[in-house]
């Protein structure tokens, strides 16, 4: 929802009227949207969830959603409809096609999701959060970056303090999927760091609630100061203070790393659809802002080796931070809004 929210904020500031069309599940995540955003809830569904009966009803639910979205579009006559991927975007984009309304999509990841891959050749523009993005034949893409929330923008380009003989911070972000392997490996990897590094460290580690106790015990046993939580509300601050970030390679995490500018060890989620997290990480790794460890090769020894190489070489760590910052797109929301306005102008008779 972050790119959609950022676009809403930007267009509202430019004087546009903004509506968000989503299903009941998506509507639960709209709390951060500006109050002036009009929320329109429509039915949608996916074949990826539920039993046989639920899957059999998917076409009917989507058809009902398209019908409702069609009625809303006929009534409100939007200038442009923008999709952000996933099955909740199907009704509005399908209805927009039926009504002849200009359409574009935004794709966060380096590999298009299933819905966006189907829609990409059927819209005027694909705004890409990661570059390069694997696009299907017939699709036109432009790199805009992934919009980040205001709290990240406030830390954009924060001065980086290289590792050294002083207190240092490591931020560990597992994301909402597949975080258990980081809880299994990272505490042991940090415990295996040379004494001269380990004694200066403090760790912020996002871990699933069911893993929190054992992760806490692992850090305590190694004498490492660590704060464990399933979610940190102040991730931008912690990232800005960190000498190193150990993270999955979700699109939003990559965007935050490049806007703030921090070196990272990335472990892409192996089960991500189309291996899109590896695609997300590719540009940052090639630029020298991060190192990548494939999940099937991740163990405490390999991770500790990479962390040691970064934390024991201040000049190299600082170069990584600069490389990450060089890929940042703090103006991504503005670029995305520019595309919307251009599309609206091109389609105006």
Q: In Å, what is the CA distance from 21 to each residue of 69, 137, 179?
A: 8, 28, 30
Give 23-77 pLDDT, tens digit per residue: 888 888 888 888 999 999 898 877 666 777 777 777 888 889 899 999 999 999 9
Q: Do domains 2-148+330-347 and 153-326 have the same CATH topology?
A: yes
Give 159-176 pLDDT, tens digit per residue: 999 999 999 999 999 865
Give 303-329 pLDDT, tens digit per residue: 999 999 999 999 999 999 999 999 999
Residue 115 predicted with pLDDT over 60: yes
Arithmetic mean of pLDDT over the chain: 92
Residues 6 or more apart from 200 whose CB is under 8 A from it? 165, 166, 167, 168
CATH class of the domain comprising 2-148+330-347 = alpha beta
Cβ atoms of 256 and 232 within 8 Å: the answer is no
Other CB atoms within 10 A of residue 15 CB: 6
Helical H segments across the chain, by residue range: 2-13, 24-27, 52-56, 58-76, 90-99, 114-119, 150-153, 180-191, 195-198, 212-221, 235-241, 251-260, 276-286, 300-311, 314-326, 332-347
User: According to the CATH classification, is domain 153-326 in 3.90.230.10?
Assistant: no
Cβ atoms of 317 and 307 within 8 Å: the answer is no
- Where do the structural domains in the chain lie, given as residue ranges? 2-148+330-347, 153-326
Confidence of residue 90 (pLDDT cuts 50, 70, 90): very high
Cβ atoms of 101 and 78 within 8 Å: the answer is yes
> 48, exposed or middle or buried, with CB in 10 Å at 0-12, 13-18, 19+?
exposed
pTM: 0.85
For position 178, what pLDDT does the model report?
47
Read off φ and ψ for residue 128, nearest 5 degrees. Answer: -105, 130
Number of residues in the chain:
349
Give 229-263 pLDDT, tens digit per residue: 988 889 999 999 999 999 999 999 999 999 999 99
Confidence of residue 290 (pLDDT cuts 50, 70, 90): very high
Calpha distance 46→258 (Å, rounded):
33
């Amino acid at each position: 929802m972050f790119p959609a929210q950022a676009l809403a904020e930007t267009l509202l500031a430019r004087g546009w009227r903004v509506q968000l069309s989503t299903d009941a599940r998506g509507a639960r995540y709209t709390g951060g949207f500006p109050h002036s955003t009009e929320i329109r809830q429509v039915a949608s569904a996916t074949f990826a969830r539920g039993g046989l009966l639920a899957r059999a009803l998917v076409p009917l639910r989507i058809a009902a959603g398209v019908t409702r979205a069609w009625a809303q579009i006929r009534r409100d006559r939007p200038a442009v409809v923008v999709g952000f991927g996933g099955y909740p975007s199907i009704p509005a984009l399908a209805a927009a096609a039926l009504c002849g309304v200009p359409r574009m999509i935004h794709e966060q990841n380096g590999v298009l999701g299933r819905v966006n891959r189907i829609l990409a050749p059927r819209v005027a523009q694909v705004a890409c959060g990661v570059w390069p993005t694997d696009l299907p034949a017939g699709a036109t893409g432009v790199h805009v970056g992934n919009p980040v929330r205001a709290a990240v923008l406030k830390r954009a380009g924060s001065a980086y303090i290289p590792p050294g003989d002083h207190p240092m911070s490591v931020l560990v972000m597992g994301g909402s999927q597949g975080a258990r392997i980081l809880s299994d490996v990272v505490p042991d990897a940090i415990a295996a760091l040379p004494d001269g590094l380990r004694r200066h460290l403090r760790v912020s580690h996002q871990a699933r609630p069911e893993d929190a106790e054992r992760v806490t015990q692992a850090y305590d046993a190694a004498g490492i100061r660590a704060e464990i939580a399933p979610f940190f509300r102040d991730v931008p601050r912690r990232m800005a203070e960190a000498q190193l970030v150990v993270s999955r390679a979700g699109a939003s995490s990559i965007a935050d790393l490049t806007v703030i500018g921090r070196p990272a060890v990335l472990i892409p989620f192996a089960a991500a659809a189309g291996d899109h997290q590896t695609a997300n990480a590719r540009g940052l790794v090639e630029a020298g802002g991060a190192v990548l460890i494939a999940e099937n090769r991740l163990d405490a020894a390999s991770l500790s080796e990479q962390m040691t190489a970064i934390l024991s070489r201040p000049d190299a760590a600082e170069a990584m931070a600069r490389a990450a910052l060089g890929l940042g797109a703090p103006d991504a929301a503005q670029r995305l809004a520019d595309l919307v306005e251009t599309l609206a102008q091109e389609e105006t008779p």
